[in-house]
Amino acid sequence: MDNLDFVVVDVETACARVSSICQIGIVGFKDGQEVFAYETLVDPRDEFAPFNVGIHGIRPDHVAGKPTFGDIHGVIDGYLGNRVTVAHSWFDKGALAAACRLGDHAPIAARWLDSVRVAKQAWPQLANHKLNVLSRFLGIEHRHHDALSDARAAGWVIIKAIEHTGIGLQGWLANSTPPRAKPPAPADEGPLKGERVVILGEEADGRLAAFIASRGGRVVRSAGSTTTILVIATAQPYGRWVGTSRLYRRAKELQEMGRPLTIISEEELRRKVCAEAVPA
């Protein structure tokens, strides 16, 4: 295992707390092929929310007698520690970090690569880059919201992106922090004139940003004291865990501080803006 090119990790959680890992899957790749796979159910020592159970199908009776995160921390660290570790979005990285903090375990030191970002650059024509969408597009066998299958699929996304673009793994790693996109200039007039809008889940020069700017809104990069709207993009990669993203949590903090900041979905924003644009 010392000469692996990269490993891929995916977790499922029992409830809205990202530390509540109830399944983990890890797959190792070498020379464009899978060389090992590890999967286990995990007793999260936490509640199981009906919403989460409805997504992945894992119930409390399934994890009865299974190891806790503390029991397998050393195993996980052995697979991921000091290796290039792929995850599809940063949710899994955050979940592992939260579980380590909760149990007072040493952080897992890995060199992380986000397969969502790789996919967006490799296949920009796709409407979104969720794992099930990519799997259908690329012909990858995949069972969504099974940790081992998700990890395996994300690994093949990396392999196929390398084949498709000619950019090797080191190239993707070197480009792991691409230049920040320049937001479009706002139109002089429009229903969003005066609004300072931050987008969760899409680039600052993407289609949603162009729509906002064309209606007079100024797209900003982060949520601050002058931000008035947080828009959750339809293509956001967090899925049902969007509330765990740093940007969303920052927006909620600003609301709790009394700032006049609205959190709205892309669909709601487009509907509202288009309705306001219709002459009386």
- By mean pLDDT, which of 9-18, 120-129, 183-192, 269-278 is the weakest? 269-278
What is the average pLDDT score of the chain? 90
pLDDT bin (cut points 50, 70, 90) of residue 278 is very low
Q: Which residue has the higher pLDDT, 190 or 202?
A: 190
Residues 144 and 31: their CA atoms lie apart, in Å, by 25
Quote the pLDDT of residue 243.
Answer: 81
Percent of the chain with pLDDT over 70: 94
Residues 196 and 190: their CA atoms lie apart, in Å, by 13
- pLDDT at 267 > cutoff 80: yes
Of the candidates 140, 153, 18, the residue with the CA atom closest to the CA atom of residue 90: 18
pLDDT digits (tens, 9 = 90+) for 37-90: 999 999 999 999 999 999 999 999 999 999 999 999 999 999 999 999 999 988
pLDDT bin (cut points 50, 70, 90) of residue 132 is very high
Output 177-184 pairs: Cβ under 8 A, ≥24 positions apart: 178/117, 178/121, 180/204, 180/221, 181/205, 181/206, 183/209, 183/213, 183/218, 183/219, 183/220, 183/221, 184/209, 184/210, 184/213, 184/214, 184/219
Quote the pLDDT of residue 280.
Answer: 42
